Amino acid sequence: MIEALRDVAQIGLADVKAGRMRTLDSREQLDQHFSAIAEDAIASVRDQRRVEE
């Protein structure tokens, strides 16, 4: 268990060092960010289903 936590921490630190992090200044920005992620995920599933049909 502790090894998994260390691995995840290293991934997070690497992302920060590489500039792959976003700072949000308000709850509204956080809501917009999560909504955009959800919309992208839904669109991806729809596209995949179209390909499979």
Contact 15, 21 (CB under 8 A): yes
Do residues 30 and 24 lie in contact, with contact meaning Cβ atoms separated by under 8 Å? yes
pLDDT digits (tens, 9 = 90+) for 8-40: 999 999 999 999 998 999 999 999 999 999 999
d(CA 19, CA 2): 26
Report the chain's terminal Cα–Cα distance, integer Å.
Answer: 41
- Across 2-6, 25-29, 49-53, least confident range: 49-53
Task: Quote the pLDDT of residue 53.
Answer: 80
The answer to whether 32 and 26 have CB atoms below 8 angstroms apart is no
pLDDT grade for 52, boundaries at 50, 70 and 90: confident
51 has pLDDT over 90: no
Q: What are phi and psi of 47, to 5 degrees?
A: -65, -40
